[in-house]
Amino acid sequence: MELGPIFRALFRSRTRLFLIVTEIALTLAIVVNCLNMISDQRKYLTRPTGLDEQNLIAVTSQPFAKDFEDDVYVRNSAKEDLEALRAMPGVRAAAMIHAFPLSGGGSATTRRPAGSDREAVTAPYFAVGDGIIETLGVKLAEGRDFIPSDFPPDDAEDEDDRGSGAAPKVTHHNVLVTQALAEAIFPGEDALGKTIENHDGSSQDTIVGVMERMHCSWPISSNYNRTMLLPAKSYSGRQARFLVRAEPGMEDSLYTGIENRLLKLNDGRIVTVRTLEELKLDSMQEVSAIVKMLGAISALLVIVTSLGIVGLTAFSVTQRTRQIGTRRALGATRMAILRFFLVESWVVSALGLGLGLVFTYALNFALSNLANLPVVSFPLVVASMGLLWAVGSLATLASAARGMGISPVVATRTV
């Protein structure tokens, strides 16, 4: 192995060696931390929601006709819409909901054990109508679904703010909560059948069912799985929102058919139909943009580094034309010439990757403290080092192939 000549040749051009080693080191540090940030951001896109996301359609009815100024008309229209949606071919279930999961807009409240002085837990919530469990596709871990008696009558007075406790009188509801919320409120205890309240006790609710999992309205919320369902009237205000759960494979036909169906019932409104996946992607545009930007930065750095290695090898071949010709004249094979440049590239890569390890963990330490990012995993570091090693080897082959083609006669003529 020609390590001696390789090291002597490299250290004769210390500046060039320093630059390429530093470039490889910085590339490793930035790429690893970019990939780590991508992984951290992608968890919002990929974490389980408990919902039948692929088959859920969000429907919004925004009226503009004067008929909708009458409460009775609004109530009857909402019921008629819901019945029409449930009757459409390909609809598995449909329910009223006052805000859509994963949409980026919703409501949150706080809850703690009734009569307790514990700190209240943040609980994103949805006001929902009957049939919501079947519509969402969530699973009950224990307890029961809502029953008709859980829902307030349609002519009941609206509560000012069931979550903030602004209403002067104490309200009571039977509610469903996720296992995560139940554990947060009653750590190590069984929450089923227990009563919870907001910070001032003006809203008290009995837990009648516990859901395995359900995502809230905000995709990047730290409380994403601490969700509560509250039974509500079949309508609220003039605008109506419905979730429709399609049978597998029927989403496309329902997507185009729902608007026409509802407008036939009443065309004094604007009907908006979107899939839950569309709502999720819209609310996560910032996350998607960050992932794309970090991916582009990583790819660009790898390309620039590979070009740097190509340039280094090309320069080395040009400088050593006479040396290569002499070695060929002394019996060196083409593969021996290729091996020489590959080993040289591996030495440079090893120096760069070794320095890059120090840079990687130093940068990650700073990001972890400043931006609360997770510590980079060792497999990610190893995989990134392997990628840069492979890129360096491939980049070397491109220029080393020219050195392999130098014949002894051509080499001596350049002297």
Tens of pLDDT along 246-305?
999 888 889 889 999 999 998 899 999 999 999 988 888 888 888 889 889 989 988 888
First-last CA distance in the chain: 27
pLDDT in tens, 234-247: 666 678 899 999 99
Give the Å distances, CA to CA, from 295 to 39, 282, 289, 378, 391.
Answer: 11, 20, 10, 20, 17
CA atoms of 60 and 259, how far apart (whole Å):
10
Which among 271, 278, 173, 270 has a CA at the least distance from the CA of 228?
173
Q: How far apart are CA 102 and CA 79, in angstroms?
A: 25
Average pLDDT over residues 175-182: 96
Q: What is the pLDDT of residue 73?
A: 87
User: What are the structure tokens assigned to 13, written together?
Assistant: 């051009």
Q: What DSSP designation does 236 have?
A: -
pTM for this model (two decimals): 0.72
Beta bridge partners of 121: 111
**Do 337 and 9 meet the contact criterion of CB atoms below 8 Å apart?**
no
Averaged pLDDT score across all residues of the chain? 83
- The DSSP code for 97 is B
Rounded to whole angstroms, how far apart are CA atoms 222 and 232? 26
pLDDT in tens, 97-156: 999 999 988 889 999 999 888 888 999 999 999 999 999 999 999 999 999 999 987 665
Q: How much of the chain exceeds pLDDT 90, in percent? A: 42
Q: Per-residue pLDDT averaged across 83-107, rounded?
A: 92
